[in-house]
Amino acid sequence: MEDFSRAKRKNLTRKTAITFVVLSVLIVVLFFLGLMVGSSNMAFSESFMALFGQGKASAVRIVQQIRLPRLLAALIAGAGLSVSGLIMQSTLKNPMASPSTLGVSNAAVFGANVAIIGFAGGFLSLGNNLSNYSVGANPFATSTIAFIFAMASTLIVLGLCKIRSFSSEIVVLAGIALGTVWTALTTLLQFFATDVGLSAAIIWTFGDLGRATYETDWIMLGVVAISCIVFIVLQWRYNALASGEDVAKSLGIRVGLLRFVSLLLSSLITAVVVSYLGIIGFVGIICPHAMKRIIGNNHKVLIPASIMAGSVLLLFSDLISRLIGNGTVLPIGAITSLLGGPFFLYLIFARKGDKQ
């Protein structure tokens, strides 16, 4: 029996090592393929040299100012959304939990609609004059207001749950209820919008890596990196929580505080990503579950594996969005949803009771 357990651990360790090698290779390959793909039809060598400022000025501008910020955003946002989904699933003990569980995405959409419809080209502007919208619209202001509403939604849910003992079931139900309220408010706001404001608001909801700049990449990187460090430090607590709240409490873990900090940081990542890039769904469901199937539930390796898998998925989705668009870049949120929808159905029908 002991030999069997040792062999099983050895096999899992080998599988984990292979998984990390494969994920690392995929990240590098997809990143450089992303540099090459685009409507300009540059050769790979030309794209590679432009990355280091060599070659034609136009090629350097395309690679360094357009493609590179986009690819960095895919790396960072994919990692953040994936690890957010994993942590939410672990702390709420709900396999279907995702970065939108607390209504964060719905609140961000409402905030963006307030900024776009209310202050630039909407019912507070004069008519459907496109010039009014182009003058008044400020992408940074829109992202800021979207972020404020997203974090407000998070704090409201966590505050309500703190009053009611902060159980995982209450978190999920409160998040769903508040998300519905934000969606209803968005609908009412769009009802009064002008054609220009409404179209701009709808376009904003499309997940779009093309909005990324070096400035937004740095902001997202700071939030994601700090949050991931905290998650890694807390990894043994998540393993204990997986054995049950009573077990975790017997080890001296303050479950309520752990859940509060984890959900707050996960929602912070989601709020930052959504406010800058729009809605990018299913990354937080696909990647953690795929990694659990391959390497198990040990958060010591599951957290970094989920981070890398999220980057791989978003880099791959971005590549697909540019390849099938035939010169037009399709919304990245639509691609991840097309990939995630069938996977979500698979989780529902192929597994009979996931206890994680």
**pLDDT of 83-107, one tens digit each?**
999 999 999 888 878 877 778 889 9
Structural domains of the chain, with CATH = 2-350 (1.10.3470.10)
The whole model's pTM is what? Answer: 0.87
pLDDT of residue 239: 93
Q: Is the distance from CB of 208 to CB of 331 less than 8 angstroms?
A: yes
Confidence (pLDDT) at 144: 86
Beta-bridged to residue 206, according to DSSP, are: 279
Q: Which of 69-73, 220-224, 318-322 has the lowest mean pLDDT?
A: 318-322
- Tell me the pLDDT band of 309, cut-offs 50, 70 and 90: very high
Burial class (CB in 10 A: 0-12, 13-18, 19+), 264: middle
Q: Which residues sit opposite 279 in a β-bridge?
A: 206
Reported as a single tens digit per residue, the pLDDT across 4-45 is 466 667 777 888 999 999 999 999 999 999 888 877 777 777
DSSP line for 80-147: HHHHHHHHHHHHHT-TT--TTTTSHHHHHHHHHHIIIIIHSSSTTSSTT-HHHHHHH--HHHHHHHHH
Percentage helix, strand, coil for the chain under 3-state DSSP, each rounded to 5: 80, 0, 20
> Rounded distance, CA 204 to CA 193, Å?
14
